[in-house]
């Protein structure tokens, strides 16, 4: 039996928040932060995190 994605709940919460707020990301920052925390702990175990980028990591790579 396949395991449930550990960050699916957070991914769904982001979609719900964005839809409720007409896709204004700044209004969903708290939910997005929860997703980032989940992705940090579930590295390699969450399909939901595969396309979820942390802007700090992206910024670090740009400056390197």
* CATH value at residue 29: 1.10.287.1130
Tokens of 22: 């007409």
**DSSP-derived 3-state class of residue 40:** helix
Domain count, the chain: 1
For residues 4 and 60, the model is more confident at 4
pLDDT in tens, 26-38: 999 999 999 999 9
Give a yes or no: residue 42 inside a domain.
yes
Question: By residue range, what is the domain housing residue 21?
Answer: 8-63
CB 29 within 8 A of CB 14: no
Give a yes or no: residue 2 inside a domain.
no
Q: What is the DSSP letter of 2?
A: P
pLDDT in tens, 43-57: 788 899 988 766 655
Give a yes or no: residue 3 inside a domain.
no
Give a yes or no: residue 1 inside a domain.
no
């Amino acid at each position: 039996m396949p395991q449930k994605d550990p960050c699916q709940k957070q991914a769904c919460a982001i979609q719900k928040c964005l839809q409720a707020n007409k896709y204004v990301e700044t209004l969903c920052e708290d939910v997005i932060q929860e997703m980032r925390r989940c992705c940090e702990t579930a590295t390699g175990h969450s399909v939901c995190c595969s396309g979820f980028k942390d802007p700090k990591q992206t910024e670090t790579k740009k400056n390197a």
